[in-house]
Amino acid sequence: MVDKLAVHGGPKTIDYKIDYQSYIGEEERQAVDQVMTSGVLSQYLGCWHPDFYGGPRVKQFESDWSAFFGVEHSVAVNSATSGLIAALGAIGIEPGDEVIVSPWTMAASATSILVWGAVPVFADIEDKTFNLCAETIERRITPYTKAVVVTDIFGHPADFEAIMKLARARGLKVIEDTAQAPGARYRGAYAGTLADIGVFSLNYHKHINTGEGGVCVTRDADLAERMRLIRNHGEAVAKDKPMSSLVNIVGFNFRLTELQAAIGIEQLKKLARIVEERIATADGLTAGLKSLKGVEVPYVRSDSTHVYYIYPLKVDFTALGVSRTRVAAALRAEGVPVEEFYENVHRLPIYQNRIAYGSKGFPWRSDVYRGDVSYQLGICPTAERLYDSTYLGIELCAARYSDRETRLIVQAFQKVWQQLDQV
């Protein structure tokens, strides 16, 4: 005899809200204390001066980041959104260019393209990893394509060897949006280091955080310098600093403070352990859920590790004969934090209405744009099918489950699956 479902008034499997357990601790507190004592909470100057590149903790954080990820240059910024904008500016994206991007990502992966007056072009994702792949990218290349933004979605690296090969052959730059995959591995290298520029996030939902923050990494000294200029009012130093090009050197303030850098230095030391714990939790969920009818547990390609920003399931609700809405409601009633949807960015009103900068449809309806992008439903069938019917994610990004909680989540799924006819 199984318990009545919580959605029908039975006992909840998890009868409390699983709290966000922060990895911010005494180390971060002490680091912040030292900055407070110094009295200098941020040490940037927006003119040509040694402090143009920030204060001691920003510089320390950047060199620690480079050492950890095995890259030459790290550029700390105040968010991954800022980082994506800096990266796209640095590679020379111009108004009217097309940049290929995933529809299955956070909105900022695409809006950062619009910021430069360029046009996001959505390519479909592969079903297994939810990532862009070389085949779907290739189908979207036009004479106007300049670059691709590839997200390592949910913590699984995209297949960058094939993507970079295609990009090199077609003269495209590649930005890796690795906001969700810090510490993930691909063929021995870290995610984030696999493209021309990688962009990490340090917002409070991500594996490690500084409240808000981000880091761009690259092996290219020129791109790194251009990102530092975009970060800090580059146009204001152009009189005094020799520059190879003024293109896209416009005045943003993307500066990370000394307080945040001090926290970041401590958070980076914890990344490996946080990733290990995430993987252990996900493995526990996989062991418990993989035999449930109609459920496909997360795929991990043999050359990669998955760091599980979200724990993504695919469920054949048609075969189960129940709607996703009802199953999700039943799971939530049992106390399991599930999400039925992930973004289909091309469906957002900004693309459907083609209104972004100003009221006249720029950049789509303008002299600079000569292409003919489509945002019609049907352009990304895999992403749309997942959104409409088969995706079900278990929240992990803002959660840290104990072994007991992992077991209870599995039990809740089992309870619901045993009574699907009641759902």
Ligand X SMILES: *Cc1c(COP(=O)(O)O)cnc(C)c1O
Minimum CB–partner distance for residue 291 and ligand X (Å): 30
Residue 334 identity: E
Structure token digits, residue 120:
């996001």
Residue from 97, 177, 258, 384 that binds ligand X (CB under 6 A)? 177
Q: Does 79 bind ligand X (CB under 6 A)?
A: yes
One residue of 7, 18, 108, 164 binding ligand X per CB under 6 A: 108
Q: How far is the CB of 423 from ligand X (least distance, A)?
A: 31
Q: What's the CA gap between 135 and 126, in Å, rounded?
A: 9
Site residues for ligand X, 114-173, by CB under 6 A, read 151
Neighbours of 360 (CB within 10 A): 9
Report the candidate in 116, 149, 117, 99 with the shortest Cα–Cα distance to residue 369. Answer: 117
Q: Is 109 in the site for ligand X (CB under 6 A)?
A: yes
Neighbours of 278 (CB within 10 A): 23
Residue 214 within binding range of ligand X, rule CB under 6 A: yes
Calpha distance 154→385 (Å, rounded): 18
Q: Return the number of the residue (87 or 91) whose C-beta is nearest ligand X.
A: 87
Choices 51-59, 73-81, 291-299, 368-376; region in contact with ligand X by CB under 6 A: 73-81
Binding mask 227-256 for ligand X (x = CB under 6 A): ------------------------------
179 lies in the binding site for ligand X (CB under 6 A) = yes
For residues 365 to 404, the per-residue mask of contacts with ligand X, x marking binding by CB under 6 A and - elsewhere, is ----------------------------------------
Chain centroid to CA 147: 18
Query: Which range touches ligand X (CB under 6 A), out of 9-17, 77-85, 252-260, 375-383?
Result: 77-85
From the list 22-30, 100-108, 352-360, 405-413, the region that binds ligand X by CB under 6 A is 100-108
Distances in Å between the Cα of 21 and the Cα atoms of 149, 255, 266, 284, 402 are 32, 28, 17, 19, 10
**Residue 111 near ligand X by CB under 6 A:** no
The stretch among 75-83, 129-137, 338-346, 371-379 that binds ligand X (CB under 6 A) is 75-83
CA distance 307 to 278: 6
Nearer to ligand X, 179 or 408 (CB): 179
Count the site residues for ligand X by CB under 6 A: 14
Q: Where on the chain is the footprint of ligand X (CB under 6 A)? A: 79-81, 105-106, 108-109, 151, 177, 179-180, 201, 203, 214
